[in-house]
Amino acid sequence: MTIRVSLPASDDTDAWRDAARALVLAGVEPDDVTWDEPALAAPDLFADAATPIPPPRPDAPAVRASKAFLSLMRMALLHREPARFDLAYRLLWRLQERPRAAEDAADPLVRRLDHLARPVRRDIHKMRAFVRFRSVIEPDGEERYVAWFEPEHHILRANAGFFVRRFASMHWSILTPQGTLHWDGISVQEGPPATRLDAPAGDPLEDLWRTYYASIFNPARLKVGAMLKEMPRKYWKNMPEAALIPDLIAGAQAREAAMVEVGASADFGAPPETLAALAGGIDACRACAIGCNGTRAVAGEGAGEGAAFMIVGEQPGDNEERESRPFVGPAGQVLRAHLSRAGIDPARGWLTNAVKHFKHQPTGKRRLHQTPTAGEIDHCRWWLDRERDLVRPRHILALGASAARGLLGRTASVQRERGLVAEQDGAEVWLTCHPSYLLRLDGPAREAEEARFIADLAAFSQRIG
């Protein structure tokens, strides 16, 4: 008998997983299953056609699903290809006999699923990079930022957490032909599909975007083919800065000679699944000039996934780069001494930096620290966000303005905002000064700032318990 599984939504990977587990436990072979997803135009079309899944066989062993399988599925199931559910179930079925089957990259089934997963990852990345919000004033006088985007795959819900984290303090809506997301600072509401006409056409913010884009446009990186691949023309119509591209390209050749070639693409690839993979990823990252300066990236250290708290500095310094450990130089020693005084054991938390490589100016034998630009911090934020996803700290302490920018995505004033500055995705973000700031002061100014630093750490310590 054929079992017909009707999934409630095209992106409902949880529903697929539950059904697939039940089918394996019931011993239903892949050839005996048909998977339906709701057609956009007629969501209830298949509702009556579903057949109940038989109960588990009494002797059924636990379902086996390797990490490699789960990570492949998470992406492949969001593809528009209707056969994806069937292919995924065939691989899950195979896993019950060969638990490592998903790791066999040469296997035709694994390859097919991988070919589905890749464009989904790209689509997720493109949405993160190319959504452009336009400001509208709502009837109640509130400002809301609205964006229009046309995803190729079922990635809208999968991307919601990213936009909530990044734009936590704004009210925003993302409209797509597949559905809409609306954030009011507290929760995300889902709405029906929209059309481009529902989205505003432009606003004064666009001038800001254009100015920003022109200032970060790097002619040395201009490869028109690569640029079109990274920023396909279909997204240009939603991007105010795209109007500048023809002129910027025209002027680029002349400026190119004066600039240093840096990484050609900021496609960070698939999110790392472990902190070890993240450490490898940051070391290999060439997405900005700092990543290309020949230094080794410095990974975070501490209790790892599930750590009680996270402390974020600006970037590794000379000593940190040599020893491949964060906070081991002079500023790190000041920090560690004060943490200990405040009763904060760094081994219970996770120490890391907003920027992963050491930006410096070589002068003779010494390498002089250089402050990263906002653009460089913003580039590295992709890694910091992934690190937060993996460590999942409930309390985060930003040391100084660069760390605050990496965490909050905006410029913050330490003097005006120190203390608890934001709640993001269930985590509190706290702000205090960077210990290197204390090292640059002396006399009464140093005493006063040190006292404030001690008070901030005491408050943070009390919070983390």
What does the binding site for ligand URA look like in residue numbers (CB under 6 A)? 313-317, 320, 326-327, 329, 331-332, 353
Helix (H, G, I), strand (E, B) or coil at 282: helix
Q: Is 167 or 327 the residue whose CB approaches ligand URA more closely?
A: 327
**Min dist. Cβ of residue 359 to ligand URA (A):** 11
Q: Is 11 or 320 the residue whose CB approaches ligand URA more closely?
A: 320
Residue whose pair of structure tokens reads 């336009």 in the numeric block = 134
Position of minimal CB gap to ligand URA = 313
**Min dist. Cβ of residue 123 to ligand URA (A):** 34
Label the pairing between strands 360-363 and 180-183.
unpaired
Q: Is 46 or 430 the residue whose CB approaches ligand URA more closely?
A: 430
Is residue 273 within 8 Å of 67, Cβ to Cβ?
Answer: yes
Q: Is 331 or 421 the residue whose CB approaches ligand URA more closely?
A: 331
The 3 state secondary structure assigned to 211-226 is HHHHHHCCHHHCCHHH
Angle 374-391/400-408 helices, nearest 10 degrees?
70
Helix (H, G, I), strand (E, B) or coil at 36: strand
According to DSSP, the residues that pair with 180 across neighbouring strands are: 175, 191
**Min dist. Cβ of residue 57 to ligand URA (A):** 55
Is residue 79 within 8 Å of 115, Cβ to Cβ?
Answer: no
Question: Which residues have C-beta within 8 Å of that of residue 55, sequence separation ≥ 6?
Answer: 26
Q: Is 132 or 369 the residue whose CB approaches ligand URA more closely?
A: 369
The 3 state secondary structure assigned to 79-93 is CCCCCHHHHHHHHHH
**Min dist. Cβ of residue 375 to ligand URA (A):** 18
Q: Is 183 or 350 the residue whose CB approaches ligand URA more closely?
A: 350
Helix (H, G, I), strand (E, B) or coil at 420: strand
**Min dist. Cβ of residue 293 to ligand URA (A):** 16
Is residue 120 within 8 Å of 155, Cβ to Cβ?
Answer: yes
Q: Is 119 or 400 the residue whose CB approaches ligand URA more closely?
A: 400
d(CA 102, CA 105): 7
Sign of the alpha-carbon torsion through 286, 287, 289, 295: negative
Q: Is 146 or 398 the residue whose CB approaches ligand URA more closely?
A: 398
**Min dist. Cβ of residue 330 to ligand URA (A):** 8
**Min dist. Cβ of residue 325 to ligand URA (A):** 8
**Min dist. Cβ of residue 329 to ligand URA (A):** 6
d(CA 293, CA 356): 12
According to DSSP, the residues that pair with 367 across neighbouring strands are: 362
